[in-house]
Structures are given as structure tokens and as C-alpha cells.
Structure 1
Amino acid sequence: MLYVDDLSTFTNGIVRIFVRRQIPSPDNCYYDIDFDPTRTDVLADFPHLGLSKKFLYVSANRNDGPNPEDWLGAGMRRFNLDQLAACRVASGRAINFTNPGGQRILVPGSGTQNVMYFSWVNTPTQWRVFSWPDDSTRVGSTLHDVAAMTFGDADCRGGVNNADWADEIAANIVGFNVQTAITRNSVNVWVPTNSDAKYRQPHIVGAEFRRGKHPNDLGLVQQPVIAFSGQCAGVPAVGVNDSGDQGLAIGVGGRVGGRGPAVTTAVGIKDKYNQGPGRFVFRKIAQATYNPDDARYGDYFTVNRNSSCGRFFDATGYGLLGGTAPSNVNARYVEFGRGPVCS
């Protein structure tokens, strides 16, 4: 949970982590995380969690509270999982990442075992991939050249109200929608991009890196693309199952020039049947007729491994049905996968 000091000024904030050993029992304890305890005017924003075998990773974008446009860095902290579960003082480490090229967002990767990976788009032709092994206090990073990506304010108008659901950060290099997935043999990164000469509609671009013996030994394998001919694609969320496949939930709808279908959530899988670089199959999960009228959609889509069936995924998504009010949110929780359903 993200807590702020004042709902009108937003000048200081913390992230609170709740520990619950059994569901639906009450919380056993909680931890307050201050991303700069030396100051009372740092706003932690856009918090996310990630897990490795030994640690809970917590990320937050750090802004100057009185001057929110002033970026102070991307914070990443990790805490000992056993100590958290026991509600004891949790040891860990805090690191703040800055970037000479301007603000970037970091989110812990999914599918981590012994090495946590996270990433940002360094330039339109280059990714930076970070690695943080469980047995090390040091974070490494590598730069990888890729085909040029196009960023900008995407035009994704549609629905009955012909509104644009993609705001100026939906396909921005800052990276609020960058996702990282770690499989047995690869690190996979995804980012929504604007339309370009090859793809008329805004779309999602990825990069797959083969993992070597060292955490920083990564080699580019392919650059998959998720694109539709008549509608936008964006705001990806990704999870990894026990087979090492990636489950994705994305926003699909609207189109350049307007009068596209209303945006909704679609789910799909990147596995041996849909490897990339294209030809991905997605299924929409929520009926929608309207686009949001505030140009915000899908900030916190989630995809996770299904707890009882490790080959399947759990995902959340929504569309707006019959209007744009909170009462019109058509929210869905879905379980999806390939092959026989677990008993």
C-alpha cells in the first residue's frame, strides 16, 4: 500500500508491506518502507513487488515532494523473506538508481529464482538490464543494442465516446509500463511503443536475451512484437509459470485516427507455440463499450503463476461497460493456460 501525508499536496509518502501468513486470516504484521528516511519531502510513487527465493524486492519511483517534476531516482529495496514471514526485524539493502539520460522507472522482474533482473529503455536503440544475485550485495547491469523503437504520445481513440485511453506516458521512454520476465534460460523485456513506419498502430516491443553462466552474460536472441492491424496494444503485464512460459495481459483497443473499439484486457502466452517475433494469439476477457475519459488505463494489471496449477496463470483486467463511472468498471479475474486443466 502507498501512503501519503496529505491527499491535496502529496509531499511525502511511504510504502507499507503487509504480512499475512494465512488467507483469509488478518494481517500478522506490517513494515513501513521510507525510500529516503533523511527527508520528509520525498514522494514514493508507483510501488511494485517482486520475489526471489530469499528476498522480497520493493521498487518505487522517487520524486521531490514539493517539486514532483524533479526526479530523485528509481529506488529498489530488498528484504529477507524468512524474517518478514516471522515478523522480525528484516535485514536487506537499499539502492537508488539515477540516469544521465533522464527519468526512468524500475519494476522487479517476475519468474526470479536466484537472480533478480529488472530493466529500462536506455535509448530508443538500447536496453539496460540490471541483475541482482541473491548471494551478492552488488547490482550489475549490461547495455544491449536493439532495433530502433518509437516513443511518443500514442493516439488510441475509440469506444462510444471516441476518447483516447493512452496518455502521454503510455508509450513513453520513461518506462512506467516496462516489464521484465525471467525464465530458465532467458531474460525477456517488454515495452509499449508508438506507431511507426512498419506498424500503423501503437504496439508492444520486446527483447529476449539468452542467459549465460554469469548473471551479466546476456545475448540477444530475438525482438518479438505484439501488434494488431486495426487497434492499439499497450500496458503489458507479464508473469512466468512453472514451465518457464510467459503469460501476458495487455490493453487492446482504440486506433490511430479514432473510432476504434473500446479498450479492454486481453491475455496470451509466449511459449513454444507462440515464440515470436510475431503471430501472438490473444483473447479479450472483458466486454467494453467506452474508453476512459481521463486518458488512464491499466496501471496495475497483474499476471501471476496460478498457485494450485503451476502451468496456468492468474490475471486481472477490465473494460468500461455502458459508461465511464466507477460503477461501469467491468472487472475480471481469469485463470488461463495451455493444455489440460489441473485437477
Structure 2
Amino acid sequence: MPPGDFVFFRNIGLNDRATSLQTSQVGEPSLANNGRQIYMTGNWYATKSLDNGSSWQYVSPFTTLPSAAGGFCCDQLTHYDRSRDLLFWLLQYIRGSNNENIFRIAIKSGPTLQNNSWYWYNFSPSGVTSSWAGLWFDYPDMALSNNYLWVTFNVFNSSNLWQRAVVFKFPLDTLATGGSLNYSYWSTTNNGSLRLTQGAGNTMYWVSHNNASQVRLFSWPENSNNITFWNINVNTWSGGSYSAPGPDGRNWLGRADARITGAWVANNVIGAMWTANSRGSRPFPHIRVVRINEISKAVIDQPDLWSGSAAWAYPAACPNDRGHVGATMFYGGGSQYYPSHVVSLWDDYSNGWQSLFTRKSTNGPNNGRWGDYINCRRHFPDGLTWIASGFTLQGGTAASNVDPQYVHFGRSRDQPTVNRLSTI
């Protein structure tokens, strides 16, 4: 097989036993792996594999950990830090009687998914600062730099009106020991839905929209509490009501919006991706991409993913150890495609985006709902290939027909390394 062939090392649709039928068309699957151990979460479920995806065991996010605030629901994320051998599980809880909720960061050290023993930290708005009493967290993002775990949230009031967005900076050394946690945070009332860059080193970057022709890029060095930002002009895009009915006439983008859902930094390039609406010569919603020079903060190019016959939506991306970029997203609409899962590569073989379907849906959703986010992660321990989450509808239109997708992908040149490390 030529070394540049785009290959799937594992491409698995999870069955009902893996999720206990706790699936949703707003799937929001996240994933992480530590060798053969894989942890995957969705909007209502968690599941684990101890044998590289050959079998899966349902994990209840409702009962595995003690309840908090108003009980679990619904956003979750998971990530793995190889530098300290830590698995992170972020859970969001319902508002309690004081209108506040909490988010929890649960932690496992080493390849210990065979048990349900976790330690964790809880965070409430008023626990962060008393001036946030009565507010609640929603829509998380999570990323790693060399020495910190970073988490973002939007913050809302009791009337469900957006108030601010916040970035948390947690020291990995403390998280590794389970000790008393001193952390930093920063918030803004100007920019929401902050998207952290995957692949950060000594500086974390994040991105948000200023308007339909400008993004704001922020930076926070590990060794500083000074946050800097740059306003960067991009090609004008459109938002509004998104539509991409599939062969059954069902619109799977009824709740889509233009929040930035993918960002990365590698090889002195910062990238950002989001779902833009149809505009001009692009008749369907598509994925806007901007690549920015990390040094000069100038736009390098804007290599969008778009089609004249169907929509692209809900992208996420991350770099590998070479600085090449893997991505995960959905494609569907028009006369041929129900919403289907796709992974993409940008590397030394592709010179641009190269994409493959992982699995195609057999139906569109019965309620116009999809999203809100999916994840791409570096595969460990090789660091050269990627894992991605997605989902499809199989055999029907309801939430119970949602099959999450676990995909391990890359180039055939890395097959020997994947094979050698597959027993670890």
C-alpha cells in the first residue's frame, strides 16, 4: 500500500449496548484514548473500551459519579494528557435551586478504565467569584497546552440570556496529584463561544467572531496572566437560518449556527473552522476555514470546504506530532446524502483538504436537530494518527437510531507504528 494512502485503522459504529440507548440527534460525541483504552461521551451517555474498540461498556454519567446541583445534563467532553498520563472527563450539570449549575472535571491516572474510580473537582459560578451568583455554565470546550488544562464556557443568567464567556487555566501538575487546586480564569462580555486551539504548546490561543467579516484571536502564555488579542479580517460569510434537506426532505441543519467549532495551532499556523450559510456561488451551508500566521497574525489563506450539491457542517480539528491537521465534520443534503460523517486530512501528501466518508446515514433526523459539536484528538501513544468522533442515523429517524462513530485514521505510512503499539 502506498505510504500516502488515506486509511482507517479503526472505524466503528457503536451499538445500543455501548450507549444504553441514551443517544440524541444533538449527539455531541467526544473521545480520548490511552493506548487500547478508549473513553467516549455523548449528550446523555458515556462508554469505554479496554480492547481498542473491539467491545464497549456503557458508563452512566448520571450515577457513576455522585450527583450535583440539579443532576447531570448534558454536555460532556473528554481529553487525554500524555505528559502526565491523565484522562479528563468534563461533565455539566443542571441548574439547582439557586439557579446555578456546576461543571465537574473528573480525572483518572494511567490506563485504569477497567474500574470506575475517579477523583474530581467541582466548579460553580459563585464559587469562581461571588459576583456570578445565580448564573450558570453551558457549552464547554477543553484543550491542553504543555502544562495546563484549559476549559471554556458560556455563562447565562436565570432568563437564559448570555452574560459572558470564561476561560479557565488549570495546572496539570496539581490535577495529577489531586491536590488543592489554585487556578486562573479570565472572562469577557464582548465575545462568546470561545474556541480553544488543539495542539497548543507554551501559549494557548482561542478564537471568536467579532462579526461576519472579522475574528478575534486571543493568546494567554503559560507563564503570564496577560491576555492579548488581535482583530483579523476574513472573507465575509453569512449566518441566519441554515437549510440542507436530504433525500427525504428533512432539514438536518435546523439548529446550526456560526459558532467556531474547530481550532488548532501547529507549525506556526493557527486555524479556525465554523459552519457558514449559503452565500453567492456557494448554494449550501459550508465550512469556513481561516489559517493565520502565528508570528505575524496575518491571514495565510482561507481554504473552505464547500460543495455545489450538499452541505458541510460542524467541523473540529487537531494537529498530530508532525503538525499535520486531521479534522472531523458532517456532510449531507441534496438528492444523494443524508447527514453523514466525514474525516479529513491536511498534510504533506494532500496539499489541501482530503476527505473520506466514515459512515453514511440512512435517514435524516425527524426534528431538524443535529450537532452541536464533535471532536478530533491526537491518537496516543503514536501521536502521528488521529481519532475522531461523529454519529449517523441508521434505520430510522429517532434519537434511538443514532449510532456514534469512533474513527482512528491517518496515512498508511504509519500503519507499522500503529501495529507495533496496538498491544499497549
TM value normalised by structure 2 = 0.72
Partner of 2:381: 308
Does structure 1 conserve the Cα–Cα contact (< 8 Å) formed by 2:261 and 2:373?
no
Alignment counterpart, residue 231 of structure 2, candidates 143, 151, 171: 143
Task: Please give the secondary structure, in 2, of the residue aligned with 1:32.
Answer: strand
The alpha carbon displacement at 1:325 in A equals 2.5
Q: Distance in 2 between matches of 1:281 and 1:329?
A: 26
Q: Structure 1 runs of 4+ off > 4 angstroms?
A: none
Partner of 1:104: 192
Query: Is 2:365 the partner of 1:292?
Result: yes
The alpha carbon displacement at 1:40 in A equals 4.1
Alignment counterpart, residue 344 of structure 2, candidates 256, 268, 273: 268
Query: Is 2:254 the partner of 1:167?
Result: yes
Q: Distance in 2 between matches of 1:207 and 1:253?
A: 22
The alpha carbon displacement at 1:41 in A equals 2.0
The alpha carbon displacement at 1:264 in A equals 1.4
The alpha carbon displacement at 1:167 in A equals 2.5
Does structure 1 conserve the Cα–Cα contact (< 8 Å) formed by 2:193 and 2:208?
yes
Q: Distance in 1 between matches of 2:262 and 2:168?
A: 18
- CA spacing shift, 1:322–1:268, aligned 2, 3 Å: same
5 Å matches for 1:46-125?
Answer: 46-64=139-157, 66-68=158-160, 70-99=161-190, 104-125=192-213
Mark the runs of 5 or more structure 2 residues left unpaired by the alignment. Answer: 1-90
Does structure 1 conserve the Cα–Cα contact (< 8 Å) formed by 2:344 and 2:355?
yes
Task: Please give the secondary structure, in 2, of the residue aligned with 1:130.
Answer: strand
The alpha carbon displacement at 1:228 in A equals 1.8
Partner of 2:138: 45
Partner of 2:46: none
Partner of 2:268: 185
TM value normalised by structure 1 = 0.88
5 Å matches for 1:202-217?
Answer: 202-212=285-295, 217=296
Q: Distance in 2 between matches of 1:75 and 1:36?
A: 13
Q: Distance in 2 between matches of 1:287 and 1:156?
A: 16
Q: Distance in 1 between matches of 2:393 and 2:169?
A: 36
Q: Distance in 1 between matches of 2:374 and 2:262?
A: 11
State the identity %.
26
Report how many aligned residue pairs link the two structures. Answer: 321
Partner of 1:2: 92
Residue type of the partner of 2:174? Q
Q: Distance in 2 between matches of 1:36 and 1:112?
A: 29
The one-character-per-residue Cα deviations of 1:45-84 (angstroms, maximum 9, x if unpaired) are: 01121111111111111010x200x211111111111101
CA RMSD of aligned residues (A): 1.8
Task: Please give the secondary structure, in 2, of the residue aligned with 1:324.
Answer: coil
The alpha carbon displacement at 1:159 in A equals 4.3
Bigger relative contact order (CA 8 A; separation at least 6): 2
Partner of 1:325: 398
Q: Distance in 2 between matches of 1:306 and 1:265?
A: 19
Residue type of the partner of 1:165? W
Residue type of the partner of 1:263? P
The alpha carbon displacement at 1:94 in A equals 1.2
Mark the runs of 5 or more structure 1 residues left unpaired by the alignment. Answer: none
Does structure 2 conserve the Cα–Cα contact (< 8 Å) formed by 1:5 and 1:12?
yes
Task: Please give the secondary structure, in 2, of the residue aligned with 1:327.
Answer: helix
Q: Distance in 2 between matches of 1:67 and 1:46?
A: 17
